[in-house]
Amino acid sequence: MTEILVTGATGHVGGQVVVQLLATGVPVRALTRDPEAARLPEGVTVAGGDLSDPDALEGALTGVGAVFLIWPFLTTEGAPGVLEVAVRHARRIVYLSSSGVDDDAERQTDPINQLHADMERLVEGSGLGWTVLRSNTIASNARGWADQIRATHVVRGPGIAATAVVHEHDVAAVAVHALTDERHLGAKHILTGPQVLSRTEQAQTIGEAIGRPVAFEEVPVPVARERMLADGRPPALVEALLASAETRPASRVITSTVEEITGVPARTFRSWAEENSDAFR
């Protein structure tokens, strides 16, 4: 099998895709902007490149058979160029999208879901064999609360509708199947965890994992905006995240897709919190 190129390879989901592909014996190439600083498992081919510069991706994509794509930007600008390079080399692509995308909506509920809907259309029209993974909220997002929990045992932020939080290990496991099994071509898989959880319930679960109570305190959007900007987050990202908090509808959707594809039931958020408890102590 030719190498599979993994974008976001140093992140939580992409890193798991790398590890799990290696475990199946598939050759892996990891795309990173800084190859010398990347800490990747032994056996991975490290390729320098940046998705913001399509012209510089020829070397990274030469010889690969498939691409796992995590799009790290808030607009699709540059995506057509990346896909044009990919189609010259690869045969298939697996794109990590959002379960919030509504195929029947003319416009999505918030900028992040709109981005994913726009990216899906580009991927589907690229000429590559494609699979879309529509993931629910990924458990590793809660790592962003670590500093607050260690300092105060209180998570303060805007309220966001409860969702069936999915473990990044499960998202990666489905991605590995989609990258290596042609039966997933043309599929849009909705990935969720086994339980719908609010932010309050996620915080409480982390507290149980570390043996100390952790609370979630909802703050008004203007206050959240001020704090997020003060933390140095890009204004465009802040507005996109807050728009999600204000407009994204609640979802009670729980799918069995993870188990159907991998043969293993989706992991709980509690198991994730226990595995990652050291990050919050």
**In this predicted model, what pLDDT tens digit does every residue of 15-35 receive, in sequence order?**
999 999 999 999 999 999 988
Asked whether 227 and 148 are in contact (CB, 8 A), the reply is: no
The answer as to whether 66 is a domain residue is yes
pLDDT at 35: 87
Torsion-angle region of 263 (φ positive above 0: left; ψ -120 to 50: alpha; else: beta): left
Element at 18 (helix H, strand E)? helix 12-23
Which of 237-251 are b and which e, b meaning 16 or more Cβ less than 10 Å from the residue's Cβ? ebebbbbbbeebeeb
Of 165-174, 189-198, 217-226, 271-280, the one with minimum mean pLDDT is 217-226
Residue 209 has pLDDT above 90, yes or no: yes
Q: How large is the average pLDDT for residues 133-152?
A: 96
Average pLDDT of the residues in 2-17: 96
In this predicted structure, the answer to whether residue 160 has a pLDDT above a threshold of 90 is: no
Does residue 205 form part of some domain?
no
Domain-embedded: residue 181: yes
Number of domains in the chain: 1
pLDDT in tens, 221-250: 888 899 889 888 899 888 888 888 777 777
Q: What is the model's pLDDT at position 257? A: 98
pLDDT for the residue 266: 98
In angstroms, the CA 66 to CA 180 distance is: 8
Q: Residue 133's beta-bridge partner residues?
A: 96, 189
CATH assignment of the domain containing 108: 3.40.50.720
Domain that holds residue 115: 3-135+168-191+254-263
Please, what is the average pLDDT of the chain? Answer: 94
Residue 161 has pLDDT above 90, yes or no: no
Give yes or no for a contact between 1 and 90, defined as CB atoms under 8 angstroms apart.
no
Banded pLDDT at 3 (limits 50, 70, 90): very high
Please, which pLDDT band fits residue 109 given cuts at 50, 70 and 90? Answer: confident
Q: What is the pLDDT of residue 37?
A: 85
pLDDT tens digits, one per residue of 43-82: 999 999 999 999 999 999 999 999 999 999 999 999 999 9
- pLDDT reported for residue 87: 97
